[in-house]
Structure 1
Amino acid sequence: PQAMLTRLAHPLQLLTNGARNLPTRHQTMRATLAWSYALLDEAEKTLFRQLAVFAGGGRLEAIEAVCSANGADAQDILDVIASLLDKSLLQQQADVDGEPRFRLLRVVREYALEQLEEHGEAEAVRRRYAAHFLALAEQAEPELMGAAQQVWLDRLALESNNLRAALDVCLAEHDIEMGLRFGGALWRFWEVRGYLDEGRLWLERLLAKTTARTSRRAKVLAGVGRLACNQGDYAAARRFHEESLSISQELGDLRGIAFSLNNLGNVAFNQGDYAAARLFHEESLAHSRQSGDQRGTAASLNNLGILAVELGDYEAARTLHAESLALKRTLGDKQGIAASLNNLGNVALNQGDYEAAFTLHTEGLALKREVGDRQGIATSLNNLGNIALTQGDYRTARPLLEESLVLQKAIGNRRGAALALCNLGDVAYHEGDSDTARALYTESLSIRWEVGDKQGIAECFVGLAGVARMVQLVERAARLLATTEALLEAIGSYLEIGNRVVYENHVAAVKRALGEEPFAAAWAARAERLRIYPNNGCGFDNYTCE
């Protein structure tokens, strides 16, 4: 089987032997293709060979851009395409937007690639191919944050195979400047559509090829840092963003400085360092306003709003998110609008306005589905599940949280997966299933411990304390609650209002069960409880940082 799989990678080599009593041209696939190719005129042969560079087929405008170097005009190319279609050497299909796409079947393309190499055209055609798709990526880049973002995200998705092949050309030809331009244009597409592993791999390969401290390197560093942060690899994300910031500072690039500071604020926030996060976001906001960058301003306001919620200042959070939302509506940024609706929904939930929270999250989810924002969809599903959980509707909460968990794992967002696991732990806890609750909280805690999410660790301890109470391990519950308090004191944070109520109920119950003196002793030693381990083991809202 392995030998067959190896040969299937080159199907033309596999299909070599036919029946010996057939005409020579039918004895092998290669011979059949050679016979068909020989019957073509020179214009048909040239286009047939050059079409082989398209890894995902090509639209007419792409074919014209890549295959017209020999002086053929658009009508000439269209005529040759029609002829190749008639001869069944080329296939036509419609893209989702109705535009025709032309492609060679895999075996036919392999033969055409051989002919392209034999005629010495491969290098020049591949360079035109890479240049065309770079132009497409750079045309799409500013649109990914504007009113037409859905159209351009879908277009890039349709061209994914061609974009990968074009990046391969850059690496093979050692054209790293072109590769960095690709990376800088595409990272947001990879982020929104949830291709975190693939995007990070491309960007790291490109960065490894050069150390030149240019604006293009800074941009790619910022992109790979965003993808790493979404994966929960905060140490790597910080390194990428710090280098990006350093380069932008050397170049005096205010927008680049603001963006890197914003990203470092997100890393600090995700690790529970709220004091650092505030400083980064406030400085980023100042730079964005100074440079007139409305998108950067909106992002910093959004992230300061998230921080305000964690610190319990819901009115400030609402004001910050409302200002950010207004800017995004002006820009027509649907993904950004959906993020602000998500975050305003979490403010409403924390203030006990469940109806407003549900409406805001539902509206945000609809926009995220429209744009195809996989990460955003997973976030909204988690938060709608959390609303149901908070209201005691566990039957509704579970499937929403489970769907969020599946998406987060598929995307590779470990922090998001940990949030969903914790909320599913809450469902199990409230339904009286201590074993399942403990397993879910512990799995969530393990991820949060590994990525350094201190707030998340504290929240998991609250859940595990509840399980300990459920199975009459009151002293263990006391230790977990004391550790939670010490950890929150250390990072200067608070539990969100729903979790704070649960936490305070646990503390009161444990205090009654233990008695005043044993409880006071456990509490007095809480600083020592910061020597915690993952096996010591939450509804939690999922905010959308930008």
Structure 2
Amino acid sequence: MAERCLADCAAMSDHNLPAQLTTFVGRAAELSAIATALRGARLVTVVGPGGCGKTRLAVEVAGREAERWPDGVWWADLASTGDPLVVQELVAAAGGLLTASASLAGQIQDRRILVCLDNCEHVLGAAAEVAVALVRACPHVTVLATSREPLDVAGETVWRVPPLSGDDAVALFNERSVQAAESEVARAAVRTACARLDGIPLAIELAAAWSGALSAQEILRGLDDRFSLLIRGPRGVAARHQTLAASMAWSHDLLDEADRVLFRRLGVFHGGFTLAAARGVCGRPDEMAVLGGLRRLVDKSLVIADTGGDVTRYRMLETIRRYAVARLDASAELDLIRDRHLDTCLAMIEEAAPLLAQDKDAWRATIEAEQENLRAATEWGLSQDDPERGRALTAALPWLWHLGGRGHEGLVLLHQAIERGPAERTRLQARLLTGLSLVADTTRPFGLEYDAAQAALDIATEVGDAPTACLARLLSAVGVFYQDFDTGWSLAEAAREQARQAGDGFVIDGATALMGIIRHLRDEHEEAVPLLREAVQGLVRRGDRGVASTALAFMASSAVCTGDLLQARELAVEAVRTARPLADYHRIGSAAGVLATVEAAAGRLDAAHAALDPIVRLVADADAPPFVPGLARAKGYLHLQAGRPADAVTWFKREAGRLDGDVESYLTPQTLIGLAAALRSIGDTQAAASAAERALKVAQRIGMPRVVADALEQSAYLADPDQAEDLHHQALALRTDHGLWPSCIDSLEALATFTSSPEAVRLLAACDRARQDMGFPRPPQNHADLRTTAEDKAHDPAWTEGHTLSLQDAIDYARRARGKRGRPSTGWASLTPTEQTVVRLATEGLSNPEIGARLFMSRSTVKTHLSHIYAKLAVANRTELATIASPHLTNR
């Protein structure tokens, strides 16, 4: 919208609006809001801190709305006097009246006028008197005032000026710049600088004035000492607007001494504070005295009050806070107030501590609002000659860093706290080491987590601190299970038993969840899911969202692995929902990765990307690379399924690069398998074979049947036909033994390529039915040519026959001709896969003809198989056969 020139208004005899030498930028919503306020009230005061643009807004609104007051718009700048008696004279002069000795109201009478009183804060009482007199006596007069605090009279509408929006702030910077920011880096620096300057127009204009001498990046760096940089405003403006410090000083000097003391002491707070905290840093004086001072500072636009919550929070714009700190430093009481601030934070965290065991959601709600204060207090405490208060505060905060997105910050502070007492063997040192392990769990677990937890366990046991000891033992289990499931299981069991004795609900449920995760990774899903479900119930009840979300995500993965997509999606959605209030990378990202995997398995690639991409963008913008296991891997599989293998390689390598090093965890082979598949798809078979081989070795060492099978499958795709068939059969056997039914379909489709046409058609038809039954569409890259051939023969008897097979029947059909080398001559292990299938069907009650129809063999062949089975198992009939076979068929 073209900017309206105010020169014509200024030239009119009844309008004396000050001419503006620069263009008005942005603020469309604010202009509309003030104009609306003037239509509904006769006294509107535009209020805000120095430099926020009150005067420019008032001039612009008055000029645009001037036609509503045909008898004139009078502009009176009250900044030119500090004498209350002169205020009426300035208003009279603005209207062209000869004298104000007579009543202003009497001289105006019924005229339609907008009277603008600019800069009222230093003559507030006199300005209020004039405004009230005009509004009461003159029915067609409207008053528009600007002030750093309200006039505080009846009938006044107070309109507080907000900071410039991000886009308006950048537009103002660019408009006032000597040289425009041209590169993307420079534009980003401008946007960051505007945000750091709180969207205050004066500060942004002063910063932009440096653009002829400094780059945007240098201006941004200079804001660390903004009151030194933001000087040399334009000539011809009021002195209080020539530098940022002068603008702040104008407001400060209007305070009485008690409020000046309160103002500077409040500068110690970072990110806001409560009334109780303000009393703490002020030496706990009378509550009403502090509340009264806060109200006056709010009125004067030096403090902002957020009354939307249960407890009012107060804050200063960062620019104002920096000025308050400068005044605090000049007062020589900075160290004293920082000490009080530390004590206040300690008292607050100690008061909230019981919530950790009862309701972590409530604990987070209390503590997260104070993150910046807690960090500042911790850094101050750890820097002192006696660091114990700082160490105590640090030891109380690990859950804040574990559950939030600031784990790297926590690791730095915890290391500092531990190093201030490296030889101590105290309860405090044990708590700090346990905290280090806890934060490492979601930030940088490998090595650091286990070592810190073990050290904490030793000290806590020595000093008799049972709660710390059982948490340290659990964290030791978490730290070691990445590479060693057996040791992780043993430690988790021991931690759970110790926690039961100590009454620590979190450790009980956390250990149970870890045991369920280990069962899951061993593909013992029937045992894993009940453990995970039991853990989730207790965790959710106490607000332990982090571990609850992880447990739900593993339950979802179990459901995918065993073929229940509907249940998998419900659990994955619940995992994301549970984690979302944490607003962290680790838990939300991991849960989103599982949800994306579930959606992709169901063929919903758009939904999978929608679940994953927002988290991927957040992680990409993080200051330090967060630890989000499985996120990049999930993105890689999405690209692979969408037919973009080169993009998939990039994502798999990104995940592998973060996992590489001395530690090969259970995460490593899963990523390597995806990388092998992507490399194979782009034709780099040598690298693909190497990745698959490494994945196989790690998965076999750790004990992960599903991942071993996946690695065997990838190796099979790269092997010669004879070896490939054997590898696919090995993968199928593992998948069948552990109930990994969707993966069994993949194996059968691969094995179909090694059989003659009727057998291949039967297998693919059975796979087609199984995919329909479970809701797993065929990935487009899986044996597309063979599937097309099979579907072309949809009316072939072999297709019809295959479509009647259950998945277990199809597995038996594929395995019946394949014997096991080195098989003993008697006992269950001596039976061939086909013979085992005949046993299963016979014990289910099928007759010989029915078995033959199921397995596509003659009645006499079935009879021959049964005679061999009877001989190998030393039984005489089906009844004896059922008795001896029952233990071997239980898990089938």
Q: TM-score, normalised by structure 2?
A: 0.52
> How many Å apart are 1:225 and its aligned residue?
2.0
Contact kept, 8 Å, 2:450 with 2:478, in 1: the verdict is no
AA aligned opposite 1:319: P
Report the more deviating stretch, 419-428 or 368-377. 368-377
2:700 maps to: 489
2:399 is the counterpart of 1:184: no
1:435 maps to: 646
Report the more deviating stretch, 44-53 or 445-454. 445-454
Task: Output one character per residue of 1:29-53: Cα deviation in whole Å (capped at 9) or x when no partner.
Answer: 5566556545543322321232221
Task: Output one character per residue of 1:320-364: Cα deviation in whole Å (capped at 9) or x when no partner.
Answer: 122223333554545554443333222222221111111122123
Compared CA separation, residues 495 and 454, structure 1 to 2 (3 A): farther
Cα distance in 1 for partners of 2:724, 2:517 equals 39
Once the two structures are superposed, the pairs formed by residues 386-535 of structure 1 within 5 Å of their partners are: 386-408=597-619, 410=622, 415-417=627-629, 419-450=630-661, 452-467=663-678, 469-470=680-681, 480-495=691-706, 500=709, 502-503=710-711, 505-506=713-714, 509-510=717-718, 513-516=720-723
Compared CA separation, residues 350 and 95, structure 1 to 2 (3 A): farther
Contact kept, 8 Å, 1:445 with 1:460, in 2: the verdict is yes
Compared CA separation, residues 43 and 335, structure 1 to 2 (3 A): same
Compared CA separation, residues 343 and 175, structure 1 to 2 (3 A): farther
Cα distance in 2 for partners of 1:481, 1:108 equals 59
Q: TM-score, normalised by structure 1?
A: 0.83
> How many Å apart are 1:101 and its aligned residue?
3.2
Report the more deviating stretch, 55-64 or 38-47. 38-47
1:8 maps to: 223
The number of aligned residues is: 512
Cα distance in 2 for partners of 1:298, 1:289 equals 10
1:140 maps to: 352
2:463 maps to: 251
> How many Å apart are 1:301 and its aligned residue?
0.5
Once the two structures are superposed, the pairs formed by residues 220-231 of structure 1 within 5 Å of their partners are: 220-231=432-443
Identity %: 25
Point out the structure with the larger helix share: 1
Higher relative contact order structure (alpha carbons within 8 Å, sequence separation ≥ 6): 1
Contact kept, 8 Å, 1:305 with 1:316, in 2: the verdict is yes
Partner SS state of residue 447, structure 2: helix
Report the more deviating stretch, 337-346 or 356-365. 337-346
2:286 is the counterpart of 1:73: yes
Compared CA separation, residues 4 and 507, structure 1 to 2 (3 A): closer
Cα distance in 2 for partners of 1:156, 1:416 equals 24
2:786 maps to: none
AA aligned opposite 1:462: I
2:297 maps to: 84
2:53 is the counterpart of 1:53: no
Compared CA separation, residues 516 and 123, structure 1 to 2 (3 A): closer
Contact kept, 8 Å, 1:234 with 1:451, in 2: the verdict is no
AA aligned opposite 1:235: G
2:342 maps to: 130
1:384 maps to: 595
Task: Output one character per residue of 1:349-396: Cα deviation in whole Å (capped at 9) or x when no partner.
Answer: 222111111112212322322454543221221111111222333333
1:287 maps to: 498
2:449 is the counterpart of 1:237: yes
Report the more deviating stretch, 429-438 or 213-222. 429-438
Please, which runs of 5 or more residues in structure 1 have no aligned partner? 524-538, 540-546
AA aligned opposite 1:487: V
Please, which runs of 5 or more residues in structure 2 have no aligned partner? 1-213, 731-745, 747-892
Partner SS state of residue 102, structure 1: strand
Task: Output one character per residue of 1:127-169: Cα deviation in whole Å (capped at 9) or x when no partner.
Answer: 111111122223334434543x334424433222222221232
> How many Å apart are 1:256 and its aligned residue?
1.9
> How many Å apart are 1:96 and its aligned residue?
5.6
Once the two structures are superposed, the pairs formed by residues 149-168 of structure 1 within 5 Å of their partners are: 149-168=360-379
Task: Output one character per residue of 1:422-451: Cα deviation in whole Å (capped at 9) or x when no partner.
Answer: 222222333333322333323322222237
Cα distance in 2 for partners of 1:325, 1:411 equals 32
Cα distance in 2 for partners of 1:405, 1:451 equals 26
Q: 1:213 aligns with which of 410, 415, 425?
A: 425
Compared CA separation, residues 282 and 53, structure 1 to 2 (3 A): same
Partner SS state of residue 305, structure 2: strand
Cα distance in 2 for partners of 1:370, 1:108 equals 31
AA aligned opposite 1:515: D
Cα distance in 1 for partners of 2:680, 2:236 equals 82
AA aligned opposite 2:557: N
Report the more deviating stretch, 390-399 or 93-102. 93-102
Contact kept, 8 Å, 2:415 with 2:436, in 1: the verdict is yes
Cα distance in 1 for partners of 2:688, 2:242 equals 77
Cα distance in 2 for partners of 1:517, 1:18 equals 78
Compared CA separation, residues 205 and 294, structure 1 to 2 (3 A): same
Report the more deviating stretch, 319-328 or 30-39. 30-39
Compared CA separation, residues 369 and 17, structure 1 to 2 (3 A): same
Cα distance in 1 for partners of 2:453, 2:560 equals 32
AA aligned opposite 2:606: R
Cα distance in 2 for partners of 1:455, 1:24 equals 67
Cα distance in 1 for partners of 2:531, 2:438 equals 22
Partner SS state of residue 661, structure 2: helix
Backbone CA RMSD of aligned residues: 3.4
Partner SS state of residue 660, structure 2: helix
2:573 is the counterpart of 1:366: no
2:258 maps to: 43
User: Which has the higher Rg, Structure 1 or Structure 2?
Assistant: 2
2:84 maps to: none
> How many Å apart are 1:305 and its aligned residue?
0.5
Once the two structures are superposed, the pairs formed by residues 315-394 of structure 1 within 5 Å of their partners are: 315-331=526-542, 333-394=544-605
> How many Å apart are 1:22 and its aligned residue?
8.0
> How many Å apart are 1:474 and its aligned residue?
6.2
Compared CA separation, residues 87 and 431, structure 1 to 2 (3 A): closer
Task: Output one character per residue of 1:489-509: Cα deviation in whole Å (capped at 9) or x when no partner.
Answer: 22233225xx84x55544555
Compared CA separation, residues 179 and 387, structure 1 to 2 (3 A): same
Report the more deviating stretch, 391-400 or 23-32. 23-32
2:202 maps to: none
